[in-house]
């Protein structure tokens, strides 16, 4: 049987009226039940005693009357005698047996007579409860002449029995009598209880009215109606309680007025502080927007020059110094990217542009970025991918995975790193495993906070700024992709991000595999005004083996496309004086019309700008803000060339 409280089912609490009635009626009910029970038990006991006395006298009379007929064998007389006995109250059947147990006369068939052990000898009052129908035995003995002789000496022994008298007794009349007595007792108890209930209600009416008034006032005060008061308070205990309630209501009203005034003052202060904080945030955003170009342009130019210098210094004795310079520039670019990305996330500048993405391509581009760094530390960098597609923003996903893999390479001293892709019917999970030192369980939440680093107490800038995982958390929240961490100290860590799975686009399923180096011989149209601003970019693309053509304006690019045919990819290197992305989208539509087919394009912006709107059925148009690493540029171009190769 279920427990009422264990299964969440609670009993309704009793009200004041019910409690008063319970207090008044419970003792009366107990007393009435006790008295009624005692009287009924005594009545039943006396009724059984009287019944057995009456039946014992009847049995003696029958035994005396049957003595002669039993002696002479008058069976018919015995049967008549038994029939006369069954007409007596509570006698249901009778029988006479001889000394050998043979039936001489009976009012029932012989088969219905009881066995010897089913008969009660004599008519003594019972100790235990008797069944409804039961048999009694009365011996039939010869009468002694001395019993009628007043002067005879009593004999010490009883005469031997001549036979046995069996009487079947029914207790039905006793039961009916007890039912009637119980009914009368219940009626009397009900009348007493009704009188007690009426009396209790009459006496408690005033108490309940006063308590109800107090309850209503207290409930009203709880709802804010502090003007309510308890009326009609007397001088008894309830009157003192009502007076206390009224005093409390007055104090609550006064406290509410004071609290409202303090809340209004605090609200005004908080509003002022919020406005100041918002103004400071806007000022900071304007500062980053104004300073981003001044920071990005020289760093970007420096990165391109260093990359060009690395290619030209393979046989030079200055190659070690050039490599150190390249590492320093890469670290500077990484720090600047991290600061600007965090500022953009904090200012909510990003607009998520989700589209189907082939996960294996994302992982391959990521491995290309870190293969050299892992090899320099003698780490085994492995991948385990499956061919599946996910719905996400590829640029933001690349930023998350870039942080995962960058941390793995930075903190793993020996062993290896595994980038695994697992998918099921609904989701795709990208995991980055490492054999690094591991992260204590107590720090699993803290490492996603800003400026938190486990192994950099001296705040060495070469080890990062502690913003990477903070950017990961905000980016994942923006993408609505869950991020998980599993780590054991001394064994390593696993960072993962889960993406919604989507079917592969039909065009992607039919596309053929691109060449090993899609940039080799690829025809790229580089649009920049003025052209001199993109000299470093031109040299970088030419160094990768691409056939690069410069265009100084949209009109010149359109004329070249009409004359020479569409390029494999169009790169628009926007300058601060260039039109915005909306005008750039319109210009790209114009060039696509001149090409006569979808034209993949990459827009390099001088700073953070809103994401490009995706056009159904059109070739992709990717956005790359400055500063950027050459590996990032190459990965995006490879994606454009391989995803839309004929």
Co-location of 380 and 498 in the same domain: yes
**From residue 250, how far is each of 214, 215, 227, 254 by CA, in Å?**
15, 16, 8, 6
Same domain, 388 and 298: no
**At residue 98, what are phi and psi to the nearest 5 degrees?**
-85, -175
User: What are 413's two structure tokens?
Assistant: 């001293």
pLDDT at 434: 92
> Is residue 490, in this structure, part of any structural domain at all?
yes
- 255: in domain: yes
E strands of 122-223, at which residues?
133-141, 161-170
Residues 355 and 480 both lie in one domain: yes
Q: 49 vs 36, 132, 174, CA distance in Å?
A: 20, 16, 11
Q: What are phi and psi of 470, to 5 degrees?
A: -65, -40
Shared domain for 51 and 165, answered yes or no, is: yes
CA dist list (Å): 304 to 295, 297, 552, 601: 15, 11, 21, 21
Supply the DSSP string of 548-616, one letter for each residue. EEEESSHHHHHHHHHHH---SEEEEE--TTS--HHHHHHHHHHHHHHHTS---EEEEESS--PPPPP-T
Share of the chain above pLDDT 70, in %: 76
| Residue 2 is assigned to a structural domain of this protein | no
φ/ψ (deg, to 5) at 17: -60, -40
Same domain, 495 and 524: no
What are phi and psi for residue 520, nearest 5 degrees? -65, 115
Residue 185 lies in a domain: no
Cα separation, 120 vs 134, whole angstroms: 8
Does any domain span residue 111?
Answer: yes
Strand blocks (E) in 427-546: 427-434, 483-488, 492-502, 523-527
CA-CA distances (angstroms) from residue 536 to 137, 308, 525, 531?
A: 132, 8, 15, 10
**Model confidence at 511, in pLDDT bands (50, 70, 90)?**
very low
Do the beta carbons of residue 248 and residue 232 sit within 8 Å? Answer: no
State residue 553's pLDDT score: 82
Whether residue 363 sits in one domain with residue 500: yes
Please indicate, yes or no, whether residues 596 and 562 belong to a single structural domain of this protein: yes
Tell me whether residue 369 is in a domain. Answer: yes
- On whether the CB atoms of residues 624 and 633 are closer than 8 A, the answer is yes
The separation between CA 36 and the C-alpha centre of its own chain, rounded to angstroms, equals 56
For residue 457, name the pLDDT band (cuts at 50, 70, 90): low
How many structural domains is the chain composed of?
Answer: 4
Same domain, 496 and 529: no
**475 plus 391 within the same structural domain:** yes
Q: Report the alpha-carbon distance of residue 181 to residue 164 in Å, rounded.
A: 36
How do residues 553-571 score in pLDDT, each as one tens digit?
A: 888 888 888 888 888 898 8
Q: What is the mean pLDDT of residues 229-249?
A: 73
Domain shared by 567 and 587, yes or no = yes
Task: Please provide residue 543's backbone torsions phi and psi, each rounded to the nearest 5 degrees.
Answer: -65, -25
Top pLDDT among 18 and 476 is at 476
**Secondary structure E strands in 262-342:** none
Question: Residue 560: which domain range?
Answer: 517-646
Q: Give residue 427's pLDDT band: very low, low, confident or very high (50, 70, 90).
A: very high
Q: Please indicate, yes or no, whether the overall pTM of this predicted structure exceeds 0.85.
A: no
591 has pLDDT over 70: yes
Q: With a cut of 90, say whether residue 499 has pLDDT above it.
A: yes
**Using 50, 70 and 90 to split pLDDT, how confident is the model at 349?**
low
Helix (H, G, I), strand (E, B) or coil at 458: coil
Q: What angle do CA 352, 354, 356 make, to 5 degrees?
A: 160
CATH of the domain at 577: 3.40.50.2300
CB 177 within 8 A of CB 5: no
Whether residues 495 and 537 fall in one domain: no
Residue 329 placed within a domain: no
H helices of 73-171, in order, are: 75-86
pLDDT at 505: 78
Over residues 111-125, mean pLDDT: 81
The answer on pLDDT for 217 being more than 80 is no
36: domain CATH number? 3.30.450.20
Could you give the CA distance from residue 452 to residue 4 in angstroms, rounded to a whole number?
Answer: 51
Q: What is the CATH number for 479?
A: 3.30.565.10
pLDDT value of residue 510: 40
Residue 203 included in any domain: no
* Domain co-membership, 477 together with 546: no
């Amino acid at each position: 049987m279920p427990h009422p409280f264990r299964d969440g089912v609670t009993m309704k609490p009793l009200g004041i009226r019910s409690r008063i009635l319970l207090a008044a009626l419970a003792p009366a009910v107990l007393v009435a039940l006790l008295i009624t029970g005692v009287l009924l038990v005594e009545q039943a006991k006396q009724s059984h005693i009287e019944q057995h006395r009456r039946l014992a006298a009847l049995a003696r009379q029958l035994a005396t009357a049957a003595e002669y007929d039993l002696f002479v064998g008058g069976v018919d007389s015995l049967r008549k005698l038994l029939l006369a006995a069954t007409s007596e109250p509570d006698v249901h059947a009778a029988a006479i047996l001889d000394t050998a147990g043979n039936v001489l006369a009976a009012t029932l068939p012989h088969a219905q007579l009881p066995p010897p052990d089913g008969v009660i000898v004599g008519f003594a009052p019972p100790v235990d409860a008797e069944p409804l129908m039961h048999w009694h035995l009365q011996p039939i003995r010869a009468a002694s002449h001395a019993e009628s002789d007043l002067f005879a000496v009593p004999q010490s022994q009883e005469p031997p029995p001549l036979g046995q008298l069996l009487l079947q007794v029914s207790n039905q009349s006793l039961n009916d009598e007890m039912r009637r007595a119980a009914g009368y007792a219940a009626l009397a108890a009900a009348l007493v209880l009704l009188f007690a209930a009426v009396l209790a209600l009459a006496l408690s009416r005033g108490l309940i009215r006063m308590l109800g008034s107090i309850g209503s006032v207290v409930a009203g005060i709880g709802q804010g109606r502090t003007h309510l008061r308890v009326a009609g308070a007397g001088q008894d205990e309830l009157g003192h309680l009502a007076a206390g309630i009224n005093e409390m209501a007055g104090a609550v009203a006064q406290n509410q007025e004071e609290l409202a005034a303090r809340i209004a003052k605090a609200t005004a202060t908080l509003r002022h502080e919020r406005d100041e904080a918002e103004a400071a945030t806007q000022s900071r955003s304007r500062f980053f927007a104004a300073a981003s170009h001044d920071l990005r342009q020289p760093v970007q130019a420096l990165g391109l020059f260093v990359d060009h210098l690395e290619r030209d210094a393979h046989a030079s004795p200055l190659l070690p110094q050039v490599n150190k310079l390249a590492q320093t520039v890469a670290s500077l670019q990484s720090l600047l990217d991290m600061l600007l990305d965090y500022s953009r996330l904090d200012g909510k500048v990003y607009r998520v542009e989700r589209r189907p993405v082939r996960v294996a391509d994302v992982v391959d581009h990521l491995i290309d970025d870190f293969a050299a760094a892992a090899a320099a530390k003698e780490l085994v960098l492995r991948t385990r991918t499956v061919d599946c597609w996910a719905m996400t923003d590829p640029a933001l996903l690349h930023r998350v995975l870039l942080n995962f893999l960058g941390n793995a390479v930075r903190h793993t001293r020996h062993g290896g790193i595994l980038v695994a892709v697992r998918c099921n019917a609904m989701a795709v999970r990208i995991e980055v495993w490492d054999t690094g030192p591991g992260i204590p369980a107590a720090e699993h939440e803290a490492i996603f906070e800003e400026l938190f680093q486990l192994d950099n107490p001296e705040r060495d800038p070469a080890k990062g700024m502690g913003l990477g995982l903070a950017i990961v958390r905000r980016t994942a929240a923006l993408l609505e992709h869950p991020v998980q961490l599993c780590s054991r100290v001394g064994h390593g860590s696993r960072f993962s991000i889960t993406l919604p799975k989507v079917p592969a686009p039909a065009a992607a399923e039919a596309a053929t595999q691109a060449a090993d180096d899609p940039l080799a011989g690829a025809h790229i149209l580089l649009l920049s005004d003025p052209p001199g601003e993109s000299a470093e970019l031109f040299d970088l693309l030419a160094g990768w083996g691409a056939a690069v053509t410069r265009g100084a304006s949209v009109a010149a690019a359109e004329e070249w496309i009409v004359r020479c045919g569409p390029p494999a990819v169009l790169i628009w290197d926007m300058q601060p004086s260039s039109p915005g992305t909306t005008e750039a989208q319109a210009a790209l539509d114009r060039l696509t019309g001149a090409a006569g087919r979808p034209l993949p394009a990459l827009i390099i912006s001088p700073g953070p700008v809103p994401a490009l709107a995706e056009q159904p059925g059109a070739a992709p148009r990717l956005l790359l803000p400055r500063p950027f690493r050459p590996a990032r540029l190459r990965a995006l171009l490879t994606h454009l060339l391989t995803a839309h190769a004929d």
